[in-house]
Structure 1
Amino acid sequence: MRSVRSAGLGLTAVVAAATTLVFVGTAGSAPADDSFYAPPASLSGAHGSVIRSEPLTGVAALSDAGVNERVLYESVSAQGEPIAVSGIVALPTTPAPAGGYPVVSWTHGTLGSADKCAPSRDTADSPANPFNVAPQPMLNRLLRQGYAVVMTDYEGLGTPGSHPYLLGESEARGALDIVRAARRLHPEISDRLAIVGHSQGGQAALFAAHDAPTWTPELKLATVVALAPANHIALGFQASLLAPSANEAYAFHPLFINGAVAGDPSIDPRNFLTAQAYDLYVRDTENRCRVELSEPDSWGGLRGIDIVRLDAIGGVDYQKFIAQLQATEPALPISAPIRVVQGEDDQRVNPVGTGVLAGELRAVNGPGRVTYVTYPQAASDPLGAHFGLLTTDTEPLADWLQQHFDGR
């Protein structure tokens, strides 16, 4: 099994504290409560099979969809075991064209590891709600354009188990298997696919595009679009450890640990975290959404120098952890046209790092295969420029998808 993939500049949120350094079964009925997310005692082992589905209403549903469904489907874990993963399937209000609806697999940004944060579980009073609804105008635009939209929650987010954050192989399987599940539920969905994601989801989209030819060879990948993709995490993490003040961005650190341990289960965080950081890791990671992990009584109250013991930096477990962070780098061979988008005023994902990533993708795939788009200033958004990028790029994204689907 490939574990979590290179190195460098990463999330501005991580580096911010160190800025002085510069750098199918058959779908069955199920109740709407938590039992929907409980997998059966045994799974078929056929990834992309549907376990169950039900109509989806409320704030999690896309307002411009003719069909909104919550779906539980089979995938394969980071450890190679059959698992259940949850997500959302949305269809346009218009009839399917000849050949079926082209489909966009949307991969969402960082929400945390607690099940309550999952997009398909979203409620108006959820701490994750502002982040879950942020991409909805863009996704509604795609529905109006005639695309089916599917949205994985990812492994362990909504369903049992820990979410292996930024573990590329796991994210890819979730994003591709929900397309298979949606096509089994709705034969009017075609085999023509685009993968689009933001932030964590931008990194996930690139991994999914890399894996698509082998994991779901029946699908025809038209393009992949990565909006402000997470990148170069290892250097950002290491730089943040030198910061002497608290920072809300340290909420990402326990999620990094989750992904690293999933990629290499031999890693024991107790062997490099301080006692304070380890206690917060155990107490909060599976119970709080990312925004709650940013609070002063959690990881947001730590200083960089409070996270990793200095005497552990040369240790085996810490070095294996850093190797897993390096393995999250999405500079991968991809068989379809790649579009990377970045706002230059982004305060969450470092624009310099994304520019480096675009260059790395060109080196791997050829300069003509990668389009890099930057915006000097993203649209105003209550959540900041990182999310304003979704508004800024909605129409250009719609044009790009139409161009590349028409070209198939």
Structure 2
Amino acid sequence: MSAPITALPTAPAGDAFYYPPSSLLEGEHGEVIWSRPLEGAAALTGARSNEVVLYRSRDVHGNPIAVSGIIALPPADPPPGGYPVISWAHGTIGSADHCAPSRDTPESPAHLWNEHPHELLNQFLKKGWAVVMTDYEGLGTYGRHPYLLGESEARGILDIVRAARQLHPEISARLAIVGHSQGGQAALFGAHHAPRWTPELDLRCVAALAPASHIKELFFGVRTIDEPQPGFAFTALFLTGAIGGDPSIQPSEVLTERAYAVYHHVESRPRAGLAEPNSFGGIEGINLLKDADNPSMTALARQLELMHPDMEIRVPIRITQAELDERIWMSLTTPLVAQLSERNPDRVTYRVYLKDEPVSQTHDPKNLGYHFGTVETDGPELVAWVEERLVRER
């Protein structure tokens, strides 16, 4: 187990917590900057304690940054060797700082989506596992949130485990990474980067529910759609993520004048707000992107390709997909599973909920649809699969 840390700076009150002076950013990635107790809507009700933590990390360009997140300890005493830990990767909520899970309030426009995984996370706590949840780079803290930029997400997912073990030596190195939607894609990248980025951690498995994939095809596929759709909110987010990887990309060279006029919404609105008729959700697909061949388009295409989670992963992988998922299509996830299986023979389990199985909005108490209902439906099987790999001795 990790050694405890000595005195830390006192965490400021309010939103100042998320904006430390640059003098505190330098140091080893995963080191704690400060922390404070967490209460209210963002806290997990099944935890003995919740706290929000600000920790050091690095962006994909090697620059020191601060990332925020949540640490929740289970009610049970730690077992011999310490608590196993789940690093949870959350799904899409947008890029606006006030939408970060650790900042959640009942009044937040992202509250339903932030609260949605709590039922599953409380099941992990009931098993006696610690739960950590990164907000991801630039979500809640300084800078752009590089949406779906896999290496950035991976660093957030892994560094918060280091931070939690500094604050709580009773947390072991035994780790499972679990995520949904954006977080499913992020979880796969986290598992890929773990051996190099955090070699001291004992990663046992990764589980990705409805993981995002084939981002390039989705981005440019809007050019064939002649009507507006709420899903075009993701066009703005995909572009934002790509710029995080390559700041030379100019949004004005990618988006039409009409789309560029509302692009600033990515820094103030949640994903659902970007889907509104007065934002990206009100623009026809054929009128979103310029028909141009320029350096920004070329760089953008390359970054979107890098978001596709086809990679080597050295631990067991579980992918969950519902046939009727209206947001992450099975027609994209099944080829991803084939690619992962080819890269990682005998490591991939693919759990598909076919349309005649009981995956529906009735399994989702917040009536958010099949995409979210799958999390509730799959919960018992998922927990059992993780437990077999996280708790057993090797």
TM-score by length of 1: 0.91
Tell me what 2:20 maps to: 39
The question of 1:336 aligning with 2:277 is answered no
Tell me what 2:306 maps to: 327
Tell me what 2:284 maps to: 303
Tell me what 1:404 maps to: 389
SS at match of 2:318: strand
Match of 2:201 among 219, 237, 256: 219
The question of 1:294 aligning with 2:275 is answered yes
Contact 2:84 2:391 in 1 (8 A): no
- The 1-side partners of 2:172 and 2:290 are apart by 52
Alignment of 1:75-224 (within 5 A): 75-224=57-206
- The 1-side partners of 2:84 and 2:111 are apart by 28
Q: Deviations over 1:153-201 (max 9, x none)?
A: 0000000111000000000000000000000000000000000000000
Tell me what 2:351 maps to: 373
Give 1:267 shift.
Answer: 1.2
- The 2-side partners of 1:125 and 1:253 are apart by 26
Give 1:268 shift.
Answer: 1.2
- The 1-side partners of 2:165 and 2:349 are apart by 29
- The 2-side partners of 1:237 and 1:114 are apart by 21
SS at match of 1:170: helix
- The 2-side partners of 1:405 and 1:46 are apart by 27
Contact 1:26 1:50 in 2 (8 A): no
Contact 1:27 1:185 in 2 (8 A): no
Alignment of 1:264-275 (within 5 A): 264-275=246-257
Amino acid at match of 2:126: R
- The 1-side partners of 2:210 and 2:390 are apart by 22
Give 1:266 shift.
Answer: 1.5
Tell me what 1:231 maps to: 213
Match of 1:353 among 325, 332, 356: 332
Amino acid at match of 2:294: G
Gapped runs of 5+ residues in structure 2? none
Give 1:26 shift.
Answer: 4.3
Contact 1:79 1:262 in 2 (8 A): no
Tell me what 2:380 maps to: 395
- The 2-side partners of 1:226 and 1:140 are apart by 18
Give 1:262 shift.
Answer: 1.2
| Count of aligned pairs | 381
Tell me what 1:11 maps to: none
Amino acid at match of 1:195: I
The question of 1:256 aligning with 2:256 is answered no
Tell me what 1:8 maps to: none
- The 2-side partners of 1:349 and 1:103 are apart by 27
- The 1-side partners of 2:142 and 2:231 are apart by 26
- The 1-side partners of 2:279 and 2:203 are apart by 41
- The 1-side partners of 2:101 and 2:163 are apart by 17
Q: Deviations over 1:8-33 (max 9, x none)?
A: xxxxxxxxxxxxxxxx6744432331
Q: Deviations over 1:25-71 (max 9, x none)?
A: 74443233111101223123310000111110001000000010000
Contact 2:219 2:238 in 1 (8 A): no
Give 1:379 shift.
Answer: 4.0
Contact 1:197 1:204 in 2 (8 A): yes
- The 2-side partners of 1:25 and 1:210 are apart by 32
- The 2-side partners of 1:348 and 1:403 are apart by 30
SS at match of 1:285: helix
Contact 2:237 2:266 in 1 (8 A): yes
- The 1-side partners of 2:123 and 2:21 are apart by 36
SS at match of 1:113: coil
- The 1-side partners of 2:328 and 2:377 are apart by 16
- The 2-side partners of 1:240 and 1:40 are apart by 41
Give 1:233 shift.
Answer: 1.1
Q: Deviations over 1:230-249 (max 9, x none)?
A: 00111122121221100000
Sequence identity of aligned pairs in percent? Answer: 54
SS at match of 2:177: strand
CA distance 1:25–1:260, shift in 2 (3 Å): farther
SS at match of 1:296: coil
Match of 2:54 among 39, 63, 72: 72
Match of 2:30 among 48, 63, 71: 48
Greater CA drift, 324-333 or 34-43: 34-43
Match of 1:241 among 193, 198, 223: 223
Gapped runs of 5+ residues in structure 1? 1-23
CA distance 1:25–1:113, shift in 2 (3 Å): farther
Tell me what 1:9 maps to: none
